[in-house]
Structure formats: C-alpha cells, structure tokens
Copies of this chain bind each other. A is one copy, B any other.
Amino acid sequence: MDGKTDLQHMGRRARAASRALAKTSASVKNGALQGVANSLVERMDEILAANSQDIDAGRRDGLSDQLLGRLALDGNKLEGMAGDVRKVAELADPTEESFDETTLANGLEVAKRRVPLGVIGVIYESRPNVTIDISSLCLKSGNAVILRGGKEAIRSNGVLAQITRDAIAEAGIADDAVQFVESTDRALVGEMLGMTEFIDLIVPRGSAELVRRVGREAQMPAITGGIGVCHTFVDKTADVDMAVDIAFNAKTSSPYVCNALDTLIVHSGIASEFLPKVAGRLGDSGVELRCDRRARSIIGNSNGVTVASATDDDWGTEFLALTAAIKVVDSLDEALDHIELYGSGHTDVIVTEDDSSSQRFLNEVDSGVVLVNASSRFNDGGQLGLGAEVAISTNKMHARGPIGLKELTSYKWTVVGSGQVRN
C-alpha cells in the first residue's frame, strides 16, 4: 500500500471514529484517559527502549544537545506525562456544556451546545510528549486525531500512540480515534494539508517554517500561531524593580519558547534608571543585548555589561535564544506604533503605574494576549486556567491565544418549541 492510499484510509477511519466518539459519554472518555495514564507507567520499559533508539539515531545524525534533551524520556518525565493526562481527565467535558440559553417571546427555548470539531490533524516536531498531550486533549473534547510527528522521535511517538490506542480500545473507544502516521515521507505533509474531506482542523506545532507552510498550503482551517515576537514596554511611571523582575522572567525563565521576551521597549523618562539595572540582571544570565543608539549609550555607561548595536532585522525577530533587543522611545504612542509595526499579535506587556496608559495599551494593542504588570510567559493554556493547550493561536478567527478543550469544539444551536411557525 503506498503512502497516499494509506493516509486516505486513515482519514476515512478517523472520520468514522470521530462520529462514534462524539456520542461517547464523559465517563467513558475519562476512563480511557485514566487507562492511557496507567499504561504510560506500566509500559515504561517499552517506551524507553524505543526512545533510546531515537536518541542513538539522533546522536548518529548529529542532533544538538538541546534537541537531544527535548527528545529524551525517562521515568520521571513519563510519570509527569501520566499526571498531565490525569489532569485532563479531571477537567470539565466541554461537550456537556450549553450556553447562551434564552427563551424567546414566542416561547422557543434557544441554546447553544458545544460539539466536537470532528477530526484534528496535528503536524509536530521533536518532543514526544506532544503525542500524549494532544491525543488526550482531542479525546477529551470528542475529536479524533491524526498525528504526524517528526523523524527524530518517530519510534518514541509510534509506541506512545500505540499505547494510547490500546488503552482507549480497552475502554470501549475505537482505537482509530488516535492514529499516527508511521512514515516520515515529507510528501505526506502536503497530502494531509489537502485532505479537506477527512480533516476539519490542522494544527502545526513546531518551527516558524512549518507554521508558515501550513498557513500557506492547508486547504482546511488551520491554527497558525506560535510565532511570538513579544514586546515588553516599560512606561515612564513603571515600578522599576517590578519592571526588572518582569523583563528578567520573560526573557530568561524559558528563552526557547514563543512567549519569551524578544524586544524590550523603554520610555526615555525611566531609561536611565531602569536600563542599567535590567542590563545587569540580564547580562549576568548571559543574555545578549542588542540595543538602539540611546539604550546603548545608557547601558554602555554601566559597568561590566557588553552590548551590541541592534540592526533593523532585530526588530520583529523571534529570537528563541538568550538574546533581547532594546529600544528607547519618548511616548506610549511610539511604543504602540512599534508594536503594531513589528509585533506578531502573540503576547505584549506594559509595565506601568498609570491607569490611563494601561487602558490604552489593553485597548490598542491588537494581540492575542495583552498583559499589564505581568510576565509575557503567562500566555499559556495551563497558566491561564485552561488546564492544557494544543497550541497558541494568533489567528483572529475561531479562537485566539491558548487553544484548550473549549477551543477544540464548535457548537450547534438547539431550539425547542411547541409547534411554533414563522409569520
């Protein structure tokens, strides 16, 4: 059977499984998730054996230590993954929710009821925990999923997907609700992106290059996002220590993720006090500072920190590294203009003690998550109370920001009458 036939068959089976899954009760789905969690621990040896094959292959292929670290599993990580699945089982089932309930003047009882989207296609790279994260969120929200993982983790992902299939089948859910593309043939990605009949939503998780390709080529709706050019603006009235803490946390707590700080914008009225302090903290942690002329002249005077000159390319760059661009502005308006021009609509922060500044920032910055006096790292489904997330969307259609269980659903209108007809 060639790759093409295979994917079409997978799609057809996923569609059938999704129809059954949409009618499956929350208790059956939660039982299946508990089974997945148990299997992650019980079948640990099997998973770790596959994972060490991936690691060996990665070493032979010259993967960086950072990538090998993301790929590697161990007992603790598997226990953690099992715990995350149990947390998903404990979340409310979004498909049991009705909302916007109302009774019209003519007596019609109108409501909306959440329903699964159908079949989710996920194209992801590297980290094998994504296989389990996404499968459990899709199952819980009543969606079937077709997973297409990266070459580096193919053996680990294959075993994790098989374990999931076994566990859900045991709980009475069709194992085709979770399917994994065993081939790493790149042409299959293109084919998935055209399978409008069988895939209702496609989610890319990985590099900016992957996300852009999916945005360009997908024939079905796609959640494109995850490219975060994140700004933190330190206003004239900011509490300097708070601003230093927030900028430091946003840049250094996890520099390789989409909600990390990229550009620090500083009001000229506070720059001479704030910049030396933040430069010291960031410099001590090995952050490279790429500064505009004014920021450089201020930081250059403080002792022991080396700074580079920012180039035009640094504005609007998602560094995904221990690098930050720094710019000094003379007004909130100038900061807003910079963010509108260079931002990616992902996450932007203002640090200020001035209510009118924070209100303007909240009103005028057109990003998925806009924060006042808090780290950009809070743009995360877990942190914002969704329990978990499959992605962070910068789209404006459907859902924006973290995509959790509710965002993996649509709704139907239900209308209950007693014989009403229309005039």
Taking beta carbons and an 8 Å cutoff, which residues of A are in contact with B?
Answer: 22-23, 102, 104, 108, 110, 113, 115, 117-118, 200-201, 221, 239, 242, 245-246, 248-250, 253, 358, 362-364, 366-375, 377-379, 383-385, 395-398, 400-401, 410-423
Contacts and interface: CB of A to CB of B under 8 A. Distances in A.
A398 B201 CA distance: 11
Contacts of A401: 412-413
B412 A373 contact: no
Contacts of A419: 239, 242, 245-246, 373-374
B385 A400 contact: no
Nearest to A401: B413
Contact of A368 (B253, B362, B412): B412
A421 B221 contact: no
Contacts of A397: 117, 200-201, 221, 397-398, 410
Given A384-B415, A412-B367, A118 B422 contact: no
Contacts of A118: 396
Contact of A421 (B102, B104, B358, B377): B377
A373 B242 contact: no
A375 B421 contact: yes
Given A401-B413, A420-B378, A396 B113 contact: no
Nearest to A241: B419
Copies in the complex: 2
A118 B117 CA distance: 25
A369 B413 contact: yes
Contact of A412 (B102, B200, B375, B400): B400
A417 B243 CA distance: 12
Contacts of A117: 396-397
Contacts of A370: 412-415
Given A362-B113, A384-B110, A249 B373 contact: no
Nearest to A406: B100
A392 to B, nearest CB: 10
A404 to B, nearest CB: 12
A362 B398 CA distance: 23
A369 B415 contact: yes
